[in-house]
Amino acid sequence: MTGYLLIAGPEFDLDYRRIDAAAQRNPGGPEAVLRRQVLRAMLDLANGRSDGHHGLGYEPGKGDLRDCVTEYVRSDPQYKADHRLVFREMAPGAPDGPPRRELLAIRHRRGSNNVYAHVCARLGRQMFDRQPGLDRFDGMTGGNRAERQAELDVRRAIAHAWDGQQPLRSSRPLTVGGPRAPAGGGTAVARERPRGARAGATGWPERG
């Protein structure tokens, strides 16, 4: 399996910290289950055990996310997945580096303030506009598991070959799986700080 470098911006960090804080308040409830599932999804994306569930598309009023992939995350194993983790495939940032996966959002899938609305906002995309260059991801419809995987493989190859697939300026490498620094157990999620940057209130670099 191919290993991937996870990168993310401060908005994704806030998504995770919101989930983490809710899990700490209710360690025996669905909030803690959701945190475990989110961490598992992130680790699976990092080590290549998962390529996501399916590629996204364009729909007027919901935005153009044809270069994005969604992973299903559930807060209750007995019910359908109610959260989505959305990411983008990217070529290595250095000649000898691993391919990258940019985590964009992890939020509830439904409602007017759902994960896809947040992804569009974070990418600076209007909800009714098609994005230049994303036509290269057209012509894929998904279907059963094997068909979805074949589509994900094609999308990944397209994204890695396209110079236009670049991360947000605020994205930094993300480390998942270390021990939590404060008391309370769980697993840490930390993003590398640029040299000379000060840590903000969330522990992530402050914007200049």
pLDDT at position 149: 93
Q: What is the largest CA-CA distance in the chain?
A: 49
pLDDT at position 198: 45
pLDDT at position 12: 96
- Residues 6-57 have pLDDT tens digits of 999 999 999 999 999 999 999 989 899 999 999 999 999 999 999 999 999 9
Quickly state the pLDDT bin for 98 (edges 50, 70, 90).
Answer: very high
Please say whether the dihedral angle defined by the alpha carbons of residues 136, 98, 34 and 147, taken in this order, is positive or negative: positive
Measure the CA–CA gap between 192 and 174, rounded to whole angstroms. Answer: 6
Q: For the chain, count helices (H), then strands (E).
A: 4, 9
DSSP 110-121: SSTT-HHHHHHH
- Residues 155-195 have pLDDT tens digits of 999 999 999 999 999 999 998 865 443 434 444 565 555 55
Measure the CA–CA gap between 16 and 204, rounded to whole angstroms. Answer: 12
Quickly state the pLDDT bin for 141 (edges 50, 70, 90).
Answer: low
Measure the CA–CA gap between 110 and 27, rounded to whole angstroms. Answer: 24
Measure the CA–CA gap between 202 and 174, rounded to whole angstroms. Answer: 14
Specify burial of residue 179 (Cβ count, 10 A radius: 0-12, 13-18, 19+). Answer: exposed
pLDDT at position 197: 46
Global pTM value: 0.85
Quickly state the pLDDT bin for 142 (edges 50, 70, 90).
Answer: low
Mean of pLDDT values over 135-159: 88
pLDDT at position 121: 94
Mean of pLDDT values over 58-82: 89
Measure the CA–CA gap between 148 and 162, rounded to whole angstroms. Answer: 21
- Residues 101-123 have pLDDT tens digits of 999 999 987 766 789 999 999 99
| Mean pLDDT, the chain, integer | 85
